[in-house]
Homo-oligomer: A and B are copies of this chain.
Amino acid sequence: MSKAFITTPSDREVRIERIFNAPRERVWKALTDPKLVALWWGRGNKLVIEQMVVERGGHWRFVEHSPHGVHGFEGRYREVKPIERVVRTFEWDGMPGHVAIETATLEDLGDGRTKLVSVSLFHTTQERDGMLQSGMESGVNQSYEALDQVLASL
């Protein structure tokens, strides 16, 4: 199973790189179709997509129902360039008003695989480190393993 490669290119950023065994069109669809996102983003937990308007200025809001509680996440799309790039804000209800800018880029590797690079920019190093220490790495890997299965099923 492929793992996400996580680095910190600057003191306010986290960069995640992950290769998926599917063509770019299919990865784009799984990242932007609410019905598909509901299948993988929650890592096996029930995910309610209250809002997801994938266009510049559109809002998104997901609520994850885990055995440990209910967690809301939300933000707004800054830029949407199919099938290449999505820039959006990201905020967790538990830390309201702490906003990261998440830039996700899809690269066609030319062999039927796709590289996803996601860079999150925080307002401060402290907020970035809080995210890193929140169990982000295992959460990201669980989500992407669920995404592998969704991609294989399409």
Contact = CB atoms under 8 A, between A and B. Distances in A.
Interface residues of A, number: 20
A25 interface: no
Interface of A: 56-57, 75-79, 87-89, 91, 93, 96-99, 101, 121, 123-124
Q: How many copies does the complex hold?
A: 2
Q: Chain A: interface secondary structure? A: strand
Nearest to A91: B76
B101 A78 contact: no
B101 A123 contact: yes
A93 B57 contact: yes
B93 A97 contact: no
Given A121-B123, A123-B121, A123-B123, A97 B91 contact: no
